[in-house]
Amino acid sequence: MKNYIKADPWNIVEEGFDPALNEVSESIFSIGNGKMGQRANFEEKYSGHTLRGSYVAGVYYPDKTRVGWWKNGYPEYFAKILNSTNWIGIGIQIDGEELDLATCEVESFSRVLNMKEGYLERKFVAKLASGKRVEVKSTRITSLVDSHNGAIRYAIKALNFAGKIRFEPHLDLNVFNQDSNYDEQFWVEVARSATDGTAIITGETKKTAFRLATAFRYQLDIDGQVATAAAETLSHDMYIGYASTAALAEGQTATLSKFVANISSLDVAPDALEAASRSSVQAAQSKGFDTLLAEQAAAWAAKWEGCDVSIEGDVAAQQAIRFNIFQMNQTYTGEDERLNIGPKGFTGEKYGGVTYWDTEAYGLPFYLKTAEPHIARQLLVYRYRHLDNAIKNAQKLGFKDGAALYPMVTINGEECHNEWEITFEEIHRNGAMTYAIYNYINHTGDRDYLAEFGLEVLIGVSRFWRQRVQWSDRRKGYVMLGVTGPNEYENNVNNNWYTNLLAQWTLQYTAESLAFVKASNPQRYAEITAKVAFNAKEDELAAWADIAAKIVLPVDEETGVFIQHDGFMDKDLTPMSQIPAGEYPINQHWSWDRILRSCYIKQADVLQGVYMFEDRFDKETIQRNFDFYEPLTVHESSLSPCIHSILASSIGYEERAYAFYLRTARLDLDDYNNDTEDGLHITSMAGTWMSVVEGFGGVRVRDGKLSMKPWLPKQWQSYSFRIFFRGAHLRVEVKPGEIVVRNESDVATELTIFGQTTPLAAHAQLRHARG
């Protein structure tokens, strides 16, 4: 655990430069806008340890799979979002001496991520080997207003000398991914040019042939006056730039403003990319840096209006929750149905930047409640567009008749994960896809989604579950063999309770959805059933009902708990508290064989199912399973603490709920797992928000009705959060003695607080005593 980030309600603050922490800070201070993202690398040269990262959403490379023993059904590649053109570069020479914080004496240093207004600022004073001292201030944005644009203002002041400062703003395509399986460079240069003050470089990815045109323009000022220094063109393989020199007197400041456009062939035809990037960067420069910064602040203000969580009495907790919300909104904006959420977002290379089931289980609840419905809807449409590939994924494993198996890891619908116990066995992800459809409709009331997109997905997944189970004469029920649940510390198990529960529920929900679409939209029902040949399989509904009624969901007679999987109760059930402290995390200290034979749980498994279907169980059942499984859970997935926090809140374990919240809230800011240098845990950040709103706030949507049972952690004086619900925008404030709900919209609604249902008119507020 590291504790060097200074507490501040709206800013992430680093004071002092420690090279050993630089890659951690590069992750923490990353910025993005849903289309592109940038690690907090330095603009000027840095020869110390750094992980360069400039990412463009949707642009990927199929890196050939590297495994020791190939098995039939393995994906041929692992898709990776690529490190792309380094657009932030500004080389600095001071009377011929390179500015490099790895070789300078750094007298002072600060880095600030302003979350309220959406920009990164860095300040430092450095002393070069010559004794010359400079003061530098850089400000950087990736624009929310025009997601193709980024901009930098880089100011350098001569503190104790008069001399020449040479600026070299440039674009560098000679970039690599550190996680390349075969040390390949994934880009080839297509073109580069520097004309009329605009430098452009265009690259193309190998194999996938995505093109990216990056353009920049710049302006150089001295003490606020435009400098007229001649520009030298710098051009060589994979590199284009300009050089300008400013002659400064002691105490003068030279400021370079760099305007950038990043446009890929996902958005513009390849032959029009250069013209589009030129036009875009000219428009950005014509606005000027101050206008871009003001637009950014206004755009972020609008974002915060819908999603802010305010905490009184704990600055560290306030900073943490806003950091998590900020990163979620930098990662995904919902403006493009082709894009999704990578576990690391735009902050690092780990997990390839591609999509996991984390999106549906953790990301979707955040966007459902903090943004207009179309934002979350786009996440579902993304999966619908991949349905054909999900069917092909299932066919590769021997399934037929339109059965669909959604991938564990993907960017285009094809499975690209290459560990057998996950690729072939962790099929519970299919249930996350169908539950997301239900979750979206339950929250928004948009049942038209079923006829438009959802029903086809439900049918494909249900067909998969039908073929994946088998009848057991011995158990007089349907069993599902050879699976891995969310707890990846158990592989190739039989009858994982969570997976079987999801299969049962999906079959039931699909049947209900078929009946609804048939009654409400007969024409569309006929189109869908003809398309998927449903009418030709008249036994499907009966088979699904039989499986749902008879699937094995074992309960331990002695303890009354749901059994995680066959054989689990035969393990040595010694609580994890008995593991010596020096052996944590066990995935770094124990053999895999020892982990698999142990009872220890990586993340919520049975409890994930209890969380998702909470309304099926009474409080005693939830408590019984929590008390049994939580002491065996080592929480070695960043996704685990939030589910435990929410369930602990629901059964009144307030101290434990808060402890789990703390574990997830500052996971990256304090680098709990010593892995933040690889990138941030973006989907876990959604879990932090869930811990506050669904946990402490007790917010639920049951049968389309909004309810809440808020409680106040004793460490806080009060807190508030915002919710979008069926057109109403609500602000909920939880105080020691009361709950205040304000409807800040034109849409009337009703909500249930501690079991009491109350109407809430547009622009009205209600107060409710908190016991």
Active site residues: 488
Phi, psi of 730 (to 5 degrees): -115, 140
635 vs 487, 641, 663, 738, CA distance in Å?
10, 6, 10, 34
Token digits of residue 541: 């509904």
Helix/strand/coil for 576: helix
CA distance 678 to 349: 7
Q: Which amino acid is at 222?
A: I
CA distance 722 to 731: 4
Residue 388: in which H helix or E strand, if any?
helix 387-396
Over 54-117, what HEC string results? EEEEEEEEEEECCCCCCCCCCCCEEEEEEECCECCCEEEEECCEECCCCCCEEEEEEEEEECCC
Sign of torsion, CA 416 422 426 432?
Answer: negative
Nearest one of 601, 597, 617, 620 to 609, comparing CA atoms: 617
192-207 per-residue burial string, b: 16 or more CB within 10 A, e: under 16: bbbeeebbbbbbbbee
CA distance 363 to 413: 18
Helix/strand/coil for 202: strand
Count of C-beta atoms within a 10 Å radius of residue 166: 19
Helix/strand/coil for 193: strand
Burial class of 570 by CB neighbour count within 10 A (0 to 12, 13 to 18, 19+): exposed
C-alpha of 89 from chain center: 26
Residues 517/523/524/530 CA torsion (nearest 10 deg): 110
How crowded is the C-beta side of 681, counted as CA atoms within 13 Å? 28
Can you give the C-alpha Rg of the chain in angstroms? 27
How crowded is the C-beta side of 525, counted as CA atoms within 13 Å? 14
CA distance 493 to 614: 24
Cβ-Cβ contacts under 8 Å for 233 (sequence gap 6 or more) = 194, 199, 240, 241, 242
Pairing of strands 198-205, 756-760: unpaired
Are the CB atoms for 370 and 307 separated by under 8 Å?
yes
Token digits of residue 610: 């209890």
